[in-house]
Structure formats: C-alpha cells, structure tokens
A and B are shown apart, each in its own frame.
Chain A
Amino acid sequence: DSGVTQTPKHLITATGQRVTLRCSPRSGDLSVYWYQQSLDQGLQFLIHYYNGEERAKGNILERFSAQQFPDLHSELNLSSLELGDSALYFCASSVAGTGTLETQYFGPGTRLLVL
C-alpha cells in the first residue's frame, strides 16, 4: 500500500457525460500528479499540482481539468467523455515539487469505462 488513495475504483458512464476522479496523496506529500494508462498509449503524464498550484501539463486534453485543494487532495474532471477516454487513471504523489527529483508513489487507480 503506497498511502495514496483514489476513488472510485471503477466508473462506468456514457459518452458526453462528465466525471470527477478523486485522489488523496500520502501524508506529508505536497505534490500530486495525474497519469492516464491506456492500451494503445501506455502510461502518460497528464498534469502536476504542487501545494494547490498547477506546475506542469502534459498530454492533457482541454476537456480535462484538475485542481488541488487546501487539504492537498486533488480532483481530475473529465468532461464530454468519448469512448477513447476509457482508461486507467492514476494519481501519484511526492514530497516536494519541481526543482527536486523524487520518487512518485502511485495510487491504485480509477478504471473508467465510457460506453
């Protein structure tokens, strides 16, 4: 158990809908990262938040957004869902943020299925 929690574990929804995935980092970690794992793209970085501020964006679609709250939990919002958004979404956390190279610890993931 990495100490990173994610809810829900599974999510089934329809095209065009919007969903929110939630992540709680390890105690003491200030950075949260979101990754998408799909069959055809592997593990891809989406976005990084540090202490409530966005620090880096990767291959994140405009339909997707995220935020990190004062209690450091983070939410990833996916809207206007398409079939191709079906994937595993992982959250990871680390102690600090940019400027340091640290291990990122991953949560168990949310499996999203868009029908």
Chain B
Amino acid sequence: GESVGLHLPTLSVQEGDNSIINCAYSNSASDYFIWYKQESGKGPQFIIDIRSNMDKRQGQRVTVLLNKTVKHLSLQIAATQPGDSAVYFCAENRAGGENKLTFGTGTQLKVEL
C-alpha cells in the first residue's frame, strides 16, 4: 500500500518566547534519556541528557524535566531563537539492554519572527 509520512506534531512560537516540547515514553525500565535536534538535511545533534535518578537538568537555555511516574519528558527552550527551528526528538535507553536508542516521533519547532 501507499506509505504515509509520519505526521509530526508542530509547535509554533514567537521569537523570544519559551518553548516546551513534550515526549511520552513507553518503557518504564528506561534509564537514560536524550534530546536531539535535527535540522533539515543534517544528523541528530545532541542537546541535553538526563538519567532516571534525576528529575531536572539544565543546560545553556535548555532544561529537561523527567517525570517517571507518568513516563513523560519535556524540553524547555528559553528565549527561543530562529536558529532553534528544527525537529526535536527524545530518545531513551536502558541499562543492561542493548545500548540502542529508541526514538520518539519528533516535534517540529517553528520559530516565528
């Protein structure tokens, strides 16, 4: 049959506003989570990571929040800039597993001037 492209959720924000991108994961045994940014025509670029023994981690303009109870991850980007426009993926990994990353579907972030 005809293949259909993944429908990416899209988040549109105004330049200078804060962005919050959400991710639900399914494996309660996951121990390690990474956010990647993928610009058109490029490979996924590491943004920030967090381990399951933490619930918050901050980087430069980015914060990741982890809620293990509801298996939810979020990426907050402060003062969003046009250069932040990209697809954002969360990925999970599990200790004692195969060390493979399982990726979410991705969210398209569009920054409007």
Interface residues of A (CB under 8 A from B): 2, 4, 31, 33, 35, 39-45, 48, 55-56, 58, 84, 90, 92, 94, 97-109
Count of A-B contacts judged by CB separation below 8 Å:
77
In angstroms, how far is the closest chain B Cβ from the Cβ of A54?
11
Q: Does B42 contact A (CB under 8 A)?
A: yes
- From B44, B99, B102, B106, contact of A48 by CB (8 A): B99
- 11 A/B residue pairs, CB under 8 Å, sorted by A: A2-B46, A33-B100, A39-B6, A40-B4, A41-B6, A42-B105, A43-B89, A58-B98, A98-B99, A105-B46, A108-B43
Cβ contacts B1-27/A at 8 Å (1 or 0 each): 001111000000000000000000000
Q: Is the CB of B49 within 8 A of A103?
A: yes
- Give A44 to B89 CA distance when docked, in angstroms: 12
Chain A residues within 8 Å of B42, by CB: 108-109
Q: Is the CB of A101 within 8 A of B31?
A: yes
* Interface residues on chain B, number (Cβ under 8 Å): 30
Q: Is the CB of A2 within 8 A of B99?
A: no
Q: Is the CB of B43 within 8 A of A2?
A: yes
Chain B residues within 8 Å of A55, by CB: 98-99
- From B5, B91, B97, contact of A39 by CB (8 A): B5
